[in-house]
Amino acid sequence: MDILPLTSVTRSRRGISLIEALIVMVLVGILAAVAIPRVAGTSDPYAAVDEAREIHAAMANARARAIATQLPNRFVLASGAVWKVEQEDPANPGTWLATADSGTADAAVTMGGATSGTILYYPRGRVDAPKTIEVSVDGHVQSIDVLASGLVRW
């Protein structure tokens, strides 16, 4: 009759160590962190903020250009979230020339509830009327309030 040493019998009944359990939990956590957002189809909550920043930068450039050149500038939002900045032609008043600031937002953009609109910046930087622009991406909404002074409040 073979007798096994006591240490091998107790070792096989002992189970797993704390270190082994921690390693498994860390690996499961890493896999969950990678897999859950892909499976859940979550959207980036900051995408609306990024789009709003881009539009805000274009409006700030239009205001600064109006003050610097002493010519009216305007921010134009067209249907389909296409926007551009235009400057009045000094040689031909009433004619607008496009500037380099333009783009298409990857979001639903509205101005005062409409899908299109214009903000006119006068040479002193003021606007024709206060407006609210809303940028929406996958249910995340960012509002931009353009005050009568031409300044922007988020």
Query: Is this structure's pTM higher than 0.85?
Result: no
Q: What is the pLDDT of residue 34?
A: 82
The number of beta carbons lying within 10 Å of the beta carbon of residue 52 is 24
Q: Spell out the domain ranges in the chain.
A: 6-40, 47-153
Cα separation, 142 vs 154, whole angstroms: 8
**Closest by CA position to 135, among listed 145, 147, 149, 126:** 145
The superfamily CATH assigns to domain 47-153 is minor pseudopilin epsh domain (3.55.40.10)
- Distance (Å) of CA 140 to CA 11, 69, 135: 56, 37, 8
Q: Which pLDDT tens digit goes with each residue over 60-82?
A: 999 999 999 999 999 999 887 88
Four-point Cα dihedral 20, 26, 28, 33, nearest 10: 180
Tell me the pLDDT of the chain averaged across its residues. Answer: 86
Q: What is the pLDDT of residue 4?
A: 57
Half-sphere exposure of 142 (CA within 13 A, CB side): 20
Q: Average pLDDT of 136-153? A: 90
Cα separation, 154 vs 145, whole angstroms: 6
* DSSP one-letter code for 56: H
Find the distance separating the first CA and the last CA of the chain, reported in whole Å.
84
- Distance (Å) of CA 33 to CA 19, 43, 143: 21, 15, 31
Q: Which pLDDT tens digit goes with each residue over 8-34?
A: 555 556 788 899 999 999 999 999 888
